[in-house]
Structure 1
Amino acid sequence: MSSLTDYANNYIKNGLYITQVYINTNSEGYKTVNFPKNWLNNLRKTTVQNWSGNIAIATGHGNDCNVCVLDVDSPSHRKDGVNGLESIEKWQKEHGAFPDTRIAETPTGGRHYYFKVPQDIHIKRGSNLLPGVDVQGDKACVIAPPSVYNSKRYKWINHTKIAEANDSVLELMRLKQKGRDEEVSSLPQDLNMISEGGRTNYLVSMIGQQNFASNKASKESIKAMIRAENEMYCNPPLSEEELERQVFPAIDNLPLYEKKETDHPQKLTLMSSKELQDMYIPPLEWLVDDYLPLSGVVGLIGSPKSRKSFMALDLCLALAKGTKFLGKNTHKHDTLYFDLESGLRRPKERQEMILARQEAPDNFYIITSDQDVKQIDNGFIEQLTDILEKNRNIQFIVIDTLGILRGAKKLDYTIDVNDVKKLKDVCTKFNVCIMVVHHFNKARGSDKNGDIFDKISGTNGIFGTLDTAWLVDIERGSTIAQFHITGRDIQEYNVVIDFNEQTMKWEYRGTWSEMEEARVQNAYENDPVTLTIKHILEKHPEGWTGTTQDIKDQSIELPKSINVTNAVLGRTISQYKVRLAKEGVDIKRERRRSNTYYIISSTSATSSTSATSSTSATDNMDSM
C-alpha cells in the first residue's frame, strides 16, 4: 500500500499543490475542517521527504491545471437526507453526460468529481448548486485520498485521468455565478479575491445564504464557519473584534435550530473486523520521538521544587526551534506556555538561562498570571479555544500548573476525570497536545516502596484519564531523577535524567537498567573484596585456597581492608562470582568439617592444577 508521502508527492508532481488539514467532529456531530494559518500562501509545491496527517488539494487556480471539483453528498452525509448523487444523475440526463474523469469516494459515500477548467475561467467555491452538490474552485480545497475521517478514509474509485470540463460540467459549476462572469474573470491571479471595502458585505451575505435551522447549526458553529471563510477569502482578514462588531450581529436575525426533546441521539454504526483490518489509519505523529505523541493530554508530574517548570519551558523552546530534547529528535511546531504561577519576570529569567544568549524563537508564546486567565470551570476552555482558532500553527500547550487552573476542589474521582476530559476535547478538536504540570501528593510520596503512580495528587481519575504521563522522581537536594514515561499509545520508558545547573536543562543519562548496572559495576570494581581477590591471584598465579578470615587477613596489605563479618564476606563473594569470572577469576567454594574454604584460581589453569598445586593457608586439607 502506498504511503502518505507517496500520495503527497504524486499530487505535487502532477501540479496539484497540497496542505495539511485537520478533520474532527464537533459536539453536534458535524464534521469540522481546520487548516494551518495562511495555508493558501504556504501550499506545498515541491516533493517532501516525509508527510504525516490528512491531505487537502488546493482547487481552482490554487493548482497548475485549474482543477476544480464537484463535491456530491450522499444521503448518509446529510441530516436532511438530500441525495446529491441523484441530483447529479438528473442533471446529466437534462444537460448532457460528464466526460469520464477521476473520482474519489468520501468516508460517507459521497463523490468528488475532478475536472480541468480552462485557465481563463475562474470558478468560485459555491454551495448547493443542486441539492447536495457543491463546487470547490478558487481559494478552496478538497480533502484527498488517503485522508481519514471517523476512522474511514477517502479513496479513489478509479484511476482515470482528470478530464477537461465539458459544457455540462462548466454550466453546473457556474450555475450560481450567472451575471457575475465578468466580475469573476477579472479577479487577480494571486487569489486575494475580497479586499477592503467588500469584506463585511461578503461575510454577511454568506450568513444569509445558509439555511442553518434545517442543518441544525448552532450560533457557535456559524461563527466558526464565518471565521474560516474570513481567513480564506478576505485580504486582509477582518480582526475578531471587527467580526464581532460588523458581521456576527447578522446571525441574530436567523432562525436557528433549537434542540427538541424529540431529537434522538446519533445512530451508532457497526464495523466488522475485516473492515478494520482493511482500513488505513495514519501512523502516530510525534512531537518528541518515542516520548511524546502529537495529540492528547500529557501530565508532567513530580514533587514540588523538582524543576518541572524548567523541563516544560525547555521543551517548549526545543519544539519551537526543532532541536533535540533529552537526546530525542523533536518536530518543529509553534508552542504556548501558560505560566499561572508567575508574572513575566520569572519566565524571562528562566528562558535566558536556558537559551544561553541564543536568539529566542518567535513561534513560542507565553501567557502569565499577569493576565486574567480563567479557571477551567469558568471560561478557560473558551479562552484557549479562541487562541487556537486564531493561531492554527500552535500544536503544543503547557499549563503550569493544573492545580491553579482547577482551583480548590474536593477529592472526587468524577470531577478529576471531567476536568482532564475538557482538555482532551480541545486536543481532539484542534489536533494539539496539552501538557499539564502537576504535583505528587506529599503524604503518599513519603512511601518510597510504593507504586510511583500512587504518588500523584488527587484521585486515580487524573492519571487514568491522561493519554501520556511523565513522572519525575527525585530526592530533595539531588540533581539525578528517575524519569518514568507511560501512555496509551507509546512504549513504557524508565530512564535516568540529570539536571545540569550550569545550562539549567535536564539531560539524558541512560535507561534505569543501564544506570543501575553501571552503579553495581562501579561498586564491584571499588569493593575491597574484589581488590583483595585480585591481589591474592597476583601474588599466587598458580592458585590459592583459604577461608573468609584468611581473605580478610590478605586485605590488610591493601590501602583499604575488608571490614565486614565473615558471613557478609561470603555472600559478597557469591554475588561477585559471575563478574569475577568475566575477568578470568575462578572461585570454588568447598565445605570441610566446620570450615568453608575458597579456591581462587585463574580460569586458564586446569582443574587438576588447581587441586594439587594450590598454596593452602591451612596445611594437610583433604579433598572433598
Structure 2
Amino acid sequence: MTDTDENKNAALDLTTKNLAVFPVHASGEKVKCPAVTGSWKSHSTSDPCEAALLWEQSPNAAPAIDCGKSGLVVIDVDVRPGKDGREGWEKLAAQHGGLADTPLVSTPSGGNHVYFRQRGGMEPPGCGTGSLPPSIDAKGAGGYVVGCGAVTAAGRYELIGGSLDRIAELPEWLYDMLRPADEVRQMQVRAELDAPREIEAAAAWLASDAPPAIQGLGGDNQTFKIAAELVRDRALTPETALDLMLEHYNPRCEPPWLPADLHKKVHSAVGSARGDIGSKTAEGMFGGVVAVPRPASITPVPKKSRGLQVQRLSEIETEAVDWLWPNHFARGMLNLIAGEPKIGKSQLLMHVSSVITRGGTWPSGETCSKGGVLCVQAEDAVKQTVRPRFIAAGGDPELFAVLNTTKPEDGDERALRLSHDLGDVESWLEANPEFRTVIFDPLTAYLGNADSHKDAEVRAVLTPLAAMAERLGVTVIAVHHLNKGGHGGGASGRLAGSAAFLQVARTVHMVVRDPDEPVNRRIFQVHRANLGKPTPGRSFHLEETTVPARGGITAEISRLVWGQEKTVDLDEALDTTRPKRESQVDKAMTWLRDRLAAGPVESGELELDAKGNGISRAALRRAKDELKVVTMKDRGKAFGAWYWSLPSADKLFGPVTLPEEKRLQ
C-alpha cells in the first residue's frame, strides 16, 4: 500500500470516530501545513464522503484533525535536539495519580500526542502551554494536529496505546494548568447576587448595547465575554444570566445560538471569568457586602426551577393516533421519507400534497380530509419544477403555499433556519388554520448551524419541531437523504447523519428501486412506524405529461402513478455491500437474447416458452424494449405470423413496422 493510500484510509478511519479531518502537506517545505484553499476550518469534516472528496483533490496529503470541531484537546509532548518533554510529562502524570486510558500516538520526532475529550460544560481550552512543563503544549479549539495513522516524509504517526473509541475526558487538574495563572485565584463576591436593579440594567444592555456574536467574526469569543461580564462584573447567577441572554441577546446574534450551546457558554464563563464578582456594580465600586471567597470554578447546578413541566399519568387522557394517511403519516408528529438521490422522493411529496389539497383518495383506498400544505423546499425551482409537478398531480394551488426565504427585521434575506425561525412558522400556521401539513425538502437544509452528525445538536432542532407539530396538530413530512452505505446497519444505517433523525421521527418511509424492475419502478414502503400496524409497500413509476405554462405553451413534466402493493426487504435493497439479485427483467433479457441467437422466432411461440420458463409477459415486454428486438412479418403472406429477432438478424425476413394492435401488450 502506498503512502497516498495509507493517508486517505487514515483520514476515512478518523471520520468513523466522528473526528473532523482536512488535508495537510505530507512533504516539502509546507509539510504539516494545510493543503486546502482558504481557511482549513471551513474544510474540516467528519463526513466520510466529504473527506473522500477532499483526498481526491489532494491525493498526496496527510490527514490532520481539527481539535475544536472534533471536541478534542491534544497534549503535544515534543522531542527535539536538546529538548525532551517526555520526562516532564511522565512526572506530571505521576503527581496526579496517573492518566485514564486514552489514545497515545507516537510522532516521527519521538514525541507523543495524548488525546483527551474537552470537558463538558466548560469553555474549551485553546492552544498554548499554560503552566505546563517545558516542551509540552496543548492543541485545542482553533488548533490541529497531524492525525493518527498519517504518514509524512518525516515518518508515521502511530497509535501505541489506548483506542480512538475510548477517549478520556481532559482531567480537571490538566484543564486548570491550561488556563492562565491569574485565572485560577479565588474571587471575591463584592455585591448582592441577582440584585433587581442589576438584572434590569443587564437586560437593557443586552438588548441594545452588548456587541452581538457574528459568525466568522469572533462570535464564540464575543459571546463568552458577554457571559463573563454578566456573571462576574454584574453579579448575576448563571441561571439568571442564561435567561437574560436567551431573551435579549440571542435574537441579535447571527446566527442565534442553540440554547444548549449558550448554556455551555454561560457556565464556562463561571469557571473561567477573571476578576471579583460584582466589581462593576454600585455596591462593588463603593463598598457593599462583605467580601466572601468564591471559587472560580463552579459546578453548574441550577438553584431554582427552569420551568420543568411534570404531569402524573393519572392526569393524562389516552388518545388514539390521528392519521393523515392511515399507518403512514401521523398528524401532530414528524414523518420522514428517505431515499437515494433522483429516486422520486420529491415527486412522491408533490403527489401526497396534491391528495391533501383536493381531499383525494390514498392508494390504499382511504379518503383524505382536505387541507392546505406549507412547502419548505430548497432543491427545485418553484416555477419550473414545483408548481408543474403539483399541477400535474392534480393538486389545488390555492391550498399550496411555498415558504421561500425569511427576512428578519434590520437583516438580510436568508434561508429558513429552524433553530431560529420556528416561532415564525408556528405563528403563520396559527394565522392560517386551513394549513395543517408542513413539508420540508430536504430537512437537513434547515438545521441552521447544527451539525447533522451530532445527536445533541440534531435533537435540539427536531425536538422543538416535533413539539410544535403536537401543539398545533400539524403533520410534518420531511425528505431525508441516505448516506453511501458500506458500513452495515441495514436500512436504518443508511440514513444520513445522526441517529436522532430516526429516533425523533414517529414514522420513517423508504423509497427504493424495485428489484424486479430497477430502471423505472420504485417501491414506497414503511420502514419504521411503531404507532401503526404493519402495512405493505406499494410500487410506483413516473410517466411523462404536460401542463399549461405561461405564454400559451405547455411544459413537459412527470407525475407519479401508483402500481400494486409490493413489499421488499429494505435491508437487502439498501445494502451496498451485498451483490444485487438478478431482476425479472434481467432474467428475461438473458433468456430472450439466448432464444433469438439462432435467428427469428415466432412471437406466439416465444410467449408460450417464456411462460414455461417463469417469465411474465410484462417482463418479456420490458426485455424486448431493452434489447431493441425487431418485429417482422413473413414476407408475402397477408396473414403470416409475426416474428421477433435481434437487431442484427434480417436473413429470412424483411423488417417491417408492427401495427399498434399487434404489439405485445
Q: Is TM > 0.5 for Structure 1 vs Structure 2?
A: no
**TM-score of the pair, normalised by structure 2:** 0.35
**TM-score of the pair, normalised by structure 1:** 0.37
